[in-house]
Amino acid sequence: MATIEVVLGDITRQDVDAIVTAANESLLGGGGVDGAIHRAAGPRLAQAGSAIAPCDPGDAKATQAFDLDPPVRHVIHTVGPVWEGGAYGEAEVLASCYRRSLQVADELRARTVAFPAIATGVYGFPPGEAARIAVSTVRRTPTAVTTIRLVAFDEATHELYTAALHDEIGGDGPC
C-alpha cells in the first residue's frame, strides 16, 4: 500500500522519481502545470512528447525528464477530461489518468511519484470532486509505487486534497 502525501508547492521542485504533467493530446506542452514542467525540463521534452503523441484523454505516456533536476528521471504525461458538466464520463476519464499514470510508473520502476491536480485548471473540473477522485483512485490502484505525492499549487486546492484524504482514510492513522 503506497503512502499518500498532500503537499503545497511546485511540482517541478519535488524530489521524486517521476512527476506527472496535466498535458494535452499533442504532448507539445501548454500553460499551467504543463507549461511549468516543459520550461523546467527544456525543449527536449516537447520533442520527446511529440514523438509518442497523441495521448488520449485518460491515458498516460512517459518520457525522460531531461533538464529537470535529479532525482526526477521521468515525466508521465496524462491528459485529463475537459469538464462539460459531468454527464460525459469526465469522472471516469479523470480516474483513468491516475490509474494509468501509476501503471506507467510501475513499468518505469518509479517508486515515488508526484501528481498535480489534474484537469482542475484550464479543463475546469470541479476541484472538490477531482480531489475525491484522485485520492480514491490512487488508494485503490494496485501499484509498486511506495510514495504518491499530491501536489497542490494553491491553498484552496491543498485544503480540498487534505480533506479528501482525511475522508478517505477516516482520519485513523497514516495512509
Binding site for ligand APR (CB under 6 A): 10-12, 22-24, 30-36, 80, 116-123, 151, 153-154, 157
Shortest distance, CB of residue 152 to ligand APR, whole angstroms? 7
Catalytic residue among 10, 34, 67, 154: 34
Sign of the torsion formed by the C-alpha atoms of 120, 126, 132 and 137: negative
**Residue 155 has which C-alpha cell?**
491553498
59 is catalytic: no
Is the sign of the CA dihedral 18, 86, 30, 152 positive or negative? Answer: negative
CA distances from 153 to 9, 49, 72, 123, 150 (A): 5, 24, 19, 16, 10
Quick check: helix, strand or coil at residue 86? Answer: coil
6 within 8 A of 139, measured Cβ to Cβ = no
- Residue 10 or residue 106: which is nearer to ligand APR going by CB? 10
Which three-class secondary structure state does DSSP give residue 106?
helix
Identify which of residues 33 and 48 has a Cβ nearer to ligand APR in the complex. Answer: 33
* Cell of residue 121, nine digits: 485548471
**Lookup: cell for 129:** 470532486
Tell me how far, at minimum, the Cβ of 66 lies from ligand APR, in Å.
16
- For ligand APR, give the closer residue by CB, 26 or 136: 26
Q: Shortest approach of ligand APR to residue 170 CB, angstroms?
A: 26
- Whichever of 137 and 157 has its CB closer to ligand APR, that residue is 157
Look at residue 64 and give its three-state secondary structure: strand
| Amino acid in position 88 | Y
Q: Could you tell me the smallest distance in angstroms from the CB atom of residue 168 to ligand APR? A: 19
* Active centre residues (catalytic): 34
